[in-house]
Amino acid sequence: MSDIDSDKWLEAMKSEMDSMGSNQVWTLVDPPKGARPVGCKWVYKRKLGADGEVTAFKTRLVAKGYTQ
């Protein structure tokens, strides 16, 4: 990751993964024979305050459902 704020993005990604783990978002299982798992990707967003300054770095891990 080469963004100037990469450390903040990595922190936001870790926070999102910790949140998903504590909320038991998924259960790891072996895929059935011949099945292709659906991939995922990260989505990034800078939250801005009323003055236009960055107030938060938000990340989401989303499924690439279009690959089914």
pLDDT of residue 67: 67
Whether residue 54 is predicted with pLDDT greater than 70 in this model: the reply is yes
Say what percent of the chain tops pLDDT 70: 96
Looking at residue 1, its pLDDT comes to 66
pLDDT band at 33 (very low <50, low <70, confident <90, very high): very high
Among 42, 36, 37, 39, which residue's Cα sits nearest to residue 57?
42
Q: Whole-angstrom Cα distance, residue 68 to residue 65?
A: 6
- Domain extents for the chain? 39-68
Say if residues 9 and 57 touch (Cβ distance below 8 Å).
Answer: yes
